[in-house]
Amino acid sequence: MTTYSAPVEDMMFLFEHLKDNKHYNEIEKYKEVNSELVKDILDEAAKINQDLILPLAKVGDENPCVYENGVVRTPPGYKDVYSKYIQDGWTSLSCDPKYGGQGMPKTVSTFFEEMLSSASLSFKLYSELSIGAYNCILHHGSDEIKNKFLPKIVEGKWSGTMCLTEPQCGTDLGLIKTKAVKDENGLYKISGQKIFITSGDHDLTDNIIHLVLARTPDAPKGTRGISLFLVPKFWVDDNGSVGPRNGVNTVSIESKMGIKGSPTCVLSFENASGFMIGPENKGLNSMFTMMNLERIVVGIQGLGISETAYQTALSYSKERKQGKSNDNSNGETDLIIKHADIRRSLMNMKSIIEGERSLAFWMSQQVDVSLNHSSSEVKKNASGIVALLTPVIKSFFTDMGMEITNEAIQIFGGYGFTKDQGIEQLFRDNRITPIYEGTNSVQAIDLVFRKITEDETFKNLISNIEEEIDQCSKNEKLSKHLNSINDFKKRLIEFTNWINPKGSTPKNDISASCNDYLKFLGYFCLSFVWLKTLRKSYENYDQNTEFYDDKINTGNYYFEKIIPRAEAHYKSAVVGSKYTMDAKFN
């Protein structure tokens, strides 16, 4: 089985020392969310994830969900742990107290999202989509709909899904065929098929609330004619009690490479009754509330799985003996952690993971500001930053997750290729993260063709980084890194000007370089948060010298050993697309 101990100390370091967003600290309702409260929450979160949820990862992989006699059955142990999970209130952590939630900010719930991803992604997906549905209904549903459905979703007694994909369309949602016809009661009858529906059916909750994209009869073609509907598995009476089965049926569940403890369903809607959510033909806008937050959460999945892979590989490297290290003087076989190349692999993982956690925490402050600040202008600016970096968080973290799980397998050698150690499962489970919620290539295209063209938002991002550079200029120990990040920033601006669709670069050159640009920006953003982390480490050094020595060494490693990767992406991109487009694929 894999090794995992929740990195509570590192999370608390971020909460106590990197929670320096001025606008975040102006949010009145979060001023009582102090370190003592957060530490208690994280300690309890660590216990349930390490003790109860982590063992389910292997169970779910070896005993996948099954579909029999019209029922999707979850793996052994899932029901009992899920019951404990909702009894302890974990589904309600970030939800509005008005509907039974605890009202914790993203700066806290993001840590919990990471822990869940580290322990068992399959188990996490049941509640993750529920919170996504909650957010969509909260922002776009009527008061009647919210009062009827949200309390049970927040409690965890009902779960949720998002139903977008159909056999003929994934990314291109304009090709959706599912129909919605209004009846005499003002409800809609939904008919069509949806595929790849995560947690689309299961036996953990009393009801499942599907958010379904469909077309009304006279809807315009393309994405302009898509509406959003809430379709429960079981009809809900006016008094809130669960009634008869609605016209939603499971056709099959997928046999998958990973996340086998989570059912990925084909669902058939046959005159299923539903409510329209938001305005007609504006369903995609409403669904993006769910999708955009979900894309950030998928990035956190990549981070969480990376942490478990790193910890498992580190533990193995302290037990496995093989060969003799370069400084061996006694002639005995050494633990592999003494070998420089193994240490290189571990430091690659560690520096990227800790940088990602810092960036996710910085981003969570921006999300909280975008949702809760009293100033509309401040909210707008924060929303712009969130929109700009969402594809980076989603794609960069999950691509790095593939690199890190791959390196972890390599550290195990032949044992990593077998199922006995559990390390190969992390690779398989993570493989979906660069694919779902919009493939990483689509995210890169979105970043370049839609996001960086918002000039003010990009300037706001650079302004945030320049503020940090100014603060760091007071510490001479950071002078070398300041030179590095200033050069990095100049190259980023140069790269952005070259790839910006508003400029003169040919479109094929831009399209062929979107992935390179996203990775460049990802490495740059990690350098920004590592700079902030190093500044805080020096400022608080005397409080915990061992912890901060490790932070400083890891940050130095990132600047010296990881940042040079970014230049290769720039040089590859600006060559253009000639040889790409001239290729003959016979």
DSSP label of 513: T
Q: Which of 114, 155, 437, 468 is catalytic?
A: 437
Which alpha helices (DSSP H) does 501-544 contain, by range? 507-511, 514-539
With 0-12 / 13-18 / 19 or more C-beta atoms within 10 angstroms meaning exposed / middle / buried, residue 71 is exposed
Residue corresponding to tokens 């490479």: 257
Beta bridge partners of 207: 158
Q: Which two tokens stand for residue 473?
A: 């200029």
Q: Using alpha carbons, select from 441, 371, 428, 438 the residue that is nearest to residue 402.
A: 428
**Distant-in-sequence, close-in-space partners of 236: CB < 8 Å, separation ≥ 6:** 148, 149, 207, 242, 243
Residue corresponding to tokens 């809609």: 188
**Distant-in-sequence, close-in-space partners of 174: CB < 8 Å, separation ≥ 6:** 221, 222, 223, 226
Rounded Cα gap, residues 114 and 33, in angstroms: 19
Rounded Cα gap, residues 411 and 472, in angstroms: 36
Cβ atoms 72, 43 nearer than 8 A: no
Q: Residues 405, 410, 411, 417: what is their CA dihedral angle, to the nearest 10 degrees? A: 90
CA distances from 425 to 7, 122, 312, 417 (A): 21, 11, 12, 10
Beta bridge partners of 72: 67
Q: Using alpha carbons, select from 41, 20, 204 the residue that is nearest to residue 124.
A: 204
Catalytic residue status for 494: no
Residue corresponding to tokens 């369309």: 169
Task: Write the single-letter amino acid at 1.
Answer: M
* Beta strands 207-214 and 158-163, pairing class: parallel
Catalytic residues: 437
